[in-house]
């Protein structure tokens, strides 16, 4: 470590604003927009992720003896398990039936964002392995100090997943659906790699959208105006009301995000028909990845969801030479459209020995089932056999 790095100070922060953006981003890097100070702060400042919604910030920082920021981690004290996408409701219910208190718990995550990315953020040039161990230890220490039942690190990188296991965290495997760019020059090149049946099905869906006289444009950064967010949020709220009943992010979040340094990473696929908005897909752009996040729509139009969320994302990735599109979890229907199952990870520390043993047993049984399911779906994938 550079001089002055000895005798580090570890602090839990009640707001992201306590850490200067430039210092946080020096640790977070620029590859993944979700761990940027701008994105996380927009969630806090908009009131989407705050104490009132059950996400009480407790972000960790490590500073050297001479005051340099060495490492940070986005951390929240949670009073529920909503908005995490790694489901531990069963653990909570079992513990509470046994007389335990599962909440509060600590969650190292990007709220409402099931996207793999770094969670233990280290300034380049520092002793990364040592600092990640320090962050993990600090989370456990904080949990013990405040009486939290557990610590959950969700959607970390595979490397972090392994390192957390080395310091006593339980490992959990999940899956999502990602499209990989195999050096395609255009969408037809991608179609050519598919089996004949899958290729014809996708062409039929795209043709059906075209016959409905739907105008679709891809808006990036400054192209997106407040009127677009007004309509998108209304559509998003309608979809949430029909499916889940609770919108995690509010209208103010999108406005706040548009005023941040990552505004140019926002990609909105916008659909209109007869001059009226029909739907929109909200994406974020990383260094080599387009991340599909949420969808909102008005009156139903056949196959518009697939076109806006999946096929236009592929078009964008090919045009911008991106490595992949991440379409999130759920929906085996994505496989037939070229989005293949991909492992995701989470790591869990549980204070109570009995609950820890029970969860460890559950995860030992669950992991091979998830891995087998991924393998089975890959065997039934849409690509031509070579």
Domain assignments of the chain as residue spans, ordered by start: 9-175+343-379, 182-322
What φ, ψ does residue 103 adopt, rounded to 5°?
-105, 140
The two domains 9-175+343-379 and 182-322 share their CATH topology (first three levels equal): yes
Tens of pLDDT, residue by residue, the chain (386 residues): 344 446 899 999 999 999 999 999 999 999 999 999 999 999 999 999 999 999 999 999 999 999 999 999 999 999 999 999 999 999 999 999 999 999 999 999 999 999 999 999 999 999 999 999 999 999 999 999 999 999 999 999 999 999 999 999 999 999 999 999 999 999 999 999 999 999 999 999 999 999 999 999 999 999 999 999 999 999 999 888 777 667 899 999 999 999 999 999 999 999 999 989 999 999 999 999 999 999 999 989 999 999 999 999 999 999 999 999 999 877 779 999 999 999 999 999 999 999 999 999 999 999 999 999 999 999 989 999 86
Phi/psi-derived region of residue 83, left when phi > 0, alpha when psi is between -120 and 50, beta in every other case: left
- Given a contact cutoff of 8 angstroms between Cβ atoms, the answer to whether 278 and 214 are in contact is yes
Tokens of 65: 């003896």
3 state SS of 76? strand
Q: What is the CATH number of domain 182-322?
A: 3.40.630.30
In the CATH scheme, what is the homologous superfamily, with its name and number, of domain 9-175+343-379? Gcn5-related N-acetyltransferase (GNAT) (3.40.630.30)
Tokens of 232: 């998108």
The residues near 263 (Cβ < 8 Å, ≥ 6 apart) are 221, 222, 257
- Tally the residues of the chain: 386
Burial of 291 (0-12, 13-18, 19+ CB in 10 A): buried
């Amino acid at each position: 470590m550079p001089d002055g790095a000895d005798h580090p100070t570890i602090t839990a922060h009640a707001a992201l604003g306590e850490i200067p953006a430039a210092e946080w981003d020096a640790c977070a890097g620029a590859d993944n927009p979700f761990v940027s100070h701008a994105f996380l702060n927009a969630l806090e400042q908009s009131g989407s992720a705050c104490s009132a919604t059950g996400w009480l910030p407790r972000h960790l920082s490590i500073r050297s003896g001479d005051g340099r920021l060495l490492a940070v981690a986005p951390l929240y004290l949670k009073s529920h398990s909503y908005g995490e996408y790694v489901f531990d409701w069963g653990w909570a219910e079992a513990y509470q039936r046994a007389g335990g208190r599962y909440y509060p718990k600590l969650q190292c995550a990007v709220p409402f964002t099931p996207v793999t990315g770094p969670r233990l953020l280290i300034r380049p040039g520092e002793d990364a392995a040592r600092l990640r161990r320090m962050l993990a230890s600090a989370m456990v220490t904080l949990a013990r100090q405040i009486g939290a039942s557990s610590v959950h690190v969700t959607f970390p990188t595979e490397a972090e997943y392994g390192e957390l296991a080395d310091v006593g965290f339980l490992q959990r495997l999940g899956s999502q659906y990602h499209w990989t760019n195999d050096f395609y020059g255009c969408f037809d090149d991608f179609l050519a790699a598919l089996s004949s049946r899958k290729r014809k099905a996708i062409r039929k869906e795209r043709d059906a959208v075209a016959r409905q006289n739907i105008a679709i444009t891809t808006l990036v950064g400054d192209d997106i105006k407040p009127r677009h967010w007004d309509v998108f949020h209304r559509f998003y709220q309608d979809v949430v009301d029909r499916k889940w009943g609770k919108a995690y992010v509010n209208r103010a979040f999108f406005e706040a995000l548009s005023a941040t340094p990552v505004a140019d990473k926002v990609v909105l696929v916008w659909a209109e028909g007869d001059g009226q908005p029909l739907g929109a897909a909200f994406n974020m752009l990383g260094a080599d990845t387009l991340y599909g996040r949420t969808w909102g729509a008005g009156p139903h139009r056949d196959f518009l969801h697939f076109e806006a969320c999946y096929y236009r994302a592929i078009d964008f990735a090919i045009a911008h030479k991106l490595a992949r599109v991440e379409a999130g979890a759920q929906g085996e229907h994505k496989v037939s459209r070229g989005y293949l199952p991909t492992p995701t990870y989470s790591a869990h520390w549980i204070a109570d020995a009995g609950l820890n043993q029970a969860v460890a047993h559950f995860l030992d049984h669950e992991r091979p089932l998830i891995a087998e399911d991924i393998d089975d779906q890959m065997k039934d994938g849409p690509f031509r056999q070579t």
